[in-house]
């Protein structure tokens, strides 16, 4: 049987649907397998059908059915009275509504507790009046503001004390490099066997003592008087 490209086109759908007779099927296969034009044609049509059948079936738009029913049967009856209340209550029984209600109640309780409106040991209905809630909220805000102000003020005092102590600790370190060390038992500035009032007094006494020692070495004839002064300075 002689098979042509035109015949291939004519029976292509029958071939793809498996409707060809065995003889036709054989001749079709022989021709298509050796024809440069028909091989890609069969492949492309087969591919197109596969893509077409893979198209998804779309969902019906939700309003379509209602629009059709409204247009044909007329607007549906509206429920009134107790029937409407029962339908409404049925909606309230949904888990979503219960979860939302619990969330709102928890938020409300947190806000009321934070505002200090309710004394949980002796709760009163009057605590929930808007005036009392506003007053208690205002009081709580003022209290929180005062506490925070005091806290910041305390921090500033502590910081200032720390910075002054740090400055004073740095001064003797500088003097140690230029002045000789004094004996720990007889420190100048000590008058009654106790420590000097401030480190600055101690430093000043050290300086005076050092200068007197140098002067005594340079002027030996005055060493007697100076030694007395030195002794007095140390005893002071």
Partner 1 sequence: MEQEAQLVQQCLQGDGSAWEELVRQHSRRVFNICYRFTGNRTEAEDLAQDVFLRIYKTLGSYRSAYGGFATWMTSVTRNLLIDHYRRTKRDRITDSLDDAMPVVENKASSARRPDEQALLGELSSQVQSALTRLSPELREAVILRDLQQLDYSEIQTVLAVPEGTVKSRINRGRIELARILQQMGVRPS
Q: Where on the chain is the footprint of partner 1 (CB under 8 A)? A: 9-14, 16, 41, 43-49, 51-61, 64-65, 67-69, 71-73
Would you say 59 or 218 has its CB closer to partner 1?
Answer: 59
Instruction: For residue 202, report the phi and psi dihedrals to the nearest 5 degrees.
Output: -60, -45
The number of CA neighbours under 13 Å toward the Cβ of 234 is 16
Cβ at position 82, least distance to partner 1 in Å: 23
CB 40 → partner 1: shortest distance, Å? 8
Cβ(217)–Cβ(197) below 8 Å: no
Shortest Å distance, C-beta 24 to partner 1: 14
**Rounded-to-10 torsion of CA 89, 90, 91, 94:** 120
Of 40, 21, 38, whose CA–CA distance to 30 is shortest? 38
Query: At its nearest, how many Å lie between partner 1 and the CB of residue 12?
Result: 6
Q: Which residue has the tokens 């140098």?
A: 214
Cβ neighbors of 189 (< 8 A, separation 6 or more) are 196, 201, 202, 204, 205, 206, 236
- Say how many residues make up the chain: 236
CB nearer to partner 1: give 44 or 119.
44
Measured from the CB atom, is 44 or 227 closer to partner 1?
A: 44
Q: How would DSSP label each residue in 104-148?
A: HHHHHHHHHHHHT---SSS--GGGGSHHHHHHHHHHHHHHHHHHH
- Give the integer Cα–Cα distance in Å for 93 and 101: 11
Using the minimum distance from each CB to partner 1, give the nearer residue, 9 or 187.
9
Query: Quick one: 17 or 217, whose CB is closer to partner 1?
Result: 17
170 and 203 Cβ atoms separated by less than 8 Å: no
Nearer of residues 68 and 98 to partner 1, judged by Cβ: 68
Instruction: Give min distance, CB of 153 to partner 1, in A.
Output: 59
Q: Which residue has the tokens 């969330």?
A: 103
Shortest distance, CB of residue 50 to partner 1, whole angstroms?
9
Q: Between 64 and 114, whose beta carbon lies closer to partner 1?
A: 64
- CB of residue 60 to partner 1, shortest distance in Å: 4
């Amino acid at each position: 049987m002689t098979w042509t490209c035109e015949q291939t086109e004519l029976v292509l759908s029958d071939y793809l649907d498996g409707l060809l007779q065995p003889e036709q099927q054989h001749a079709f296969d022989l021709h298509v397998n050796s024809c440069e034009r028909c091989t890609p044609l069969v492949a492309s049509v087969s591919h197109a059908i596969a893509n077409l059948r893979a198209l998804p079936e779309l969902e019906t738009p939700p309003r379509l059915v209602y629009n059709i029913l409204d247009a044909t049967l007329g607007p549906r009856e509206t429920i009134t009275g107790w029937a409407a209340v029962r339908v409404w209550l049925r909606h309230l029984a949904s888990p979503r509504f219960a979860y939302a209600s619990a969330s709102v109640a928890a938020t409300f309780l947190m806000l009321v507790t934070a505002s200090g409106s309710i004394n949980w040991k002796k709760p009163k209905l009057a605590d929930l009046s808007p005036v009392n809630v506003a007053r208690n909220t205002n009081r709580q805000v003022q209290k929180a503001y005062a506490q925070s102000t005091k806290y910041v003020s305390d921090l500033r005092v502590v910081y200032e004390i720390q910075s002054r102590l740090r400055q004073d600790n740095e001064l003797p370190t500088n003097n140690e490099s230029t002045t000789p060390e004094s004996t720990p038992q007889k420190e100048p500035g000590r008058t009654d066997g106790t420590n000097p009032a401030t480190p600055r007094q101690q430093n000043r006494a050290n300086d005076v003592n050092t200068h007197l020692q140098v002067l005594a070495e340079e002027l030996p004839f005055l060493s007697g008087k100076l030694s007395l002064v030195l002794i007095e300075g140390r005893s002071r």
